[in-house]
Amino acid sequence: MSVSSTIDVSNMRFGVVVSEWNEQITQSLLNGVVETLKQYGVKDEKIIIKSVPGSFELVFGAAQLAKSGLVDGIIAIGCVIRGDTPHFDYICSGATQGIVDLNLHGNIPVVYGLLTTNTLEQAEERSGGLLGNKGNEYAVTAIKMIDYAQSLTK
Ligand code: DLZ
């Protein structure tokens, strides 16, 4: 995935909400996001990064950041790893539906950066390991979606 050179990122402000659970994974995803945003010319001062305790809190975190008016788009980063209880399903469905609702009812795009895996190894592979870093895709998606939103208001 890449961003067209016709897209101007200079007027874009990014919010990133990161979950502390499975921090080693979410920090790697965050690094992937920031690295890619900068690669496309986004300046540090245009990126606001906020932490929340777990993936379930991503929805509140993103909703409040959206309401603040400080950003044009948000990337919600979390990692849920399947355990022995149904907790995985509740957290995944709550966070996922919450992000869907924010996209449907809010004014700015919220990128779904929730990694849901069966094992820690699968999460490692996707956060800078053998299968790349999904954070790169989240950043590209955010740029494209902010461009989409801005194209309708100009
Ligand atoms: C409680 C919990 C569990 C068991 N697993 C995860 C996980 O794998 N990934 C994650 O981001 N958060 C987990 N949490 C915490 C919940 O997201 C949430 O923070 C708590 O239920 C408190 O609302």
| Structure confidence by residue, pLDDT tens digits, 69-128 | 999 999 999 999 998 888 899 999 999 999 999 999 999 999 999 999 999 999 999 999
Atom of ligand 1 nearest to the CA of 56: 17
| Structure confidence by residue, pLDDT tens digits, 34-63 | 999 999 999 999 999 999 999 999 999 999
Structural domain contains residue 5: no
Q: How many folded domains does the chain comprise?
A: 1
What is the pLDDT at residue 84? Answer: 82
Structural domain contains residue 32: no
What CATH number does residue 77 fall under?
3.40.50.960
Q: For residue 119, what are its two tokens?
A: 């094992």
Structural domain contains residue 95: yes
Structural domain contains residue 23: no
pLDDT band at 25 (very low <50, low <70, confident <90, very high): very high
> Residue of the nearest CA to atom 8 in ligand 1?
80
Q: Is 105 a catalytic residue?
A: no
pLDDT band at 136 (very low <50, low <70, confident <90, very high): very high
Domain limits for position 81 = 41-151
CB contact set of 58 (below 8 Å; sequence gap of 6+):
17, 19, 52, 76, 77, 78, 95, 98, 99, 114
> Residue of the nearest CA to atom 23 in ligand 1?
56
